[in-house]
Structure 1
Amino acid sequence: MEKKCKTCKHYRPHYVKIKGCGFRRTRGGHCTYPRGKLRYEDKAACANYQPAQTEQ
C-alpha cells in the first residue's frame, strides 16, 4: 500500500454540498494528528502516517 494522506487513519476528507444531488467528496481534507492541518489526498504522507483500518 502506498503512503498517501488518503490511506492514513488521521486524514479526514472534505465534502461539498451540491444542490439536488447531495454531497460530493473533494480532493482536500485535513489531518487530525498532532493538530489540524490542510492536506490533499494524493500527496505523500507525513512522518505521522499510520495505515487506516479497513473493514472487510
Structure 2
Amino acid sequence: NGGNQFTQYAGQNVGNLNGYNAVQNVRNQVAQNLRVQNVGNQNGQTGVQGNGNQN
C-alpha cells in the first residue's frame, strides 16, 4: 500500500485523551489523514500511525 499506511488502529488519539501517548511519525504530526482520524478516539484504542502521510 503506497498511500497512507494505517494499521487496524485507524483512530488517531487526538490530544492523547486516554492518557496514553500515541505513536506517531513526528514529521507528519500536522499532516494527518483527517478522513481516517477518529477525533476523540471513540473506540478506546491508541492511534498507531505507521509511515505517516506520504505527500
TM-score range, shorter chain: under 0.3
Q: Which has the higher helix share?
A: 2
Q: Which has the larger radius of gyration?
A: 1
Taking structure 2 as the reference length, what is the TM-score of the superposition? 0.23
More strand by percentage: 1
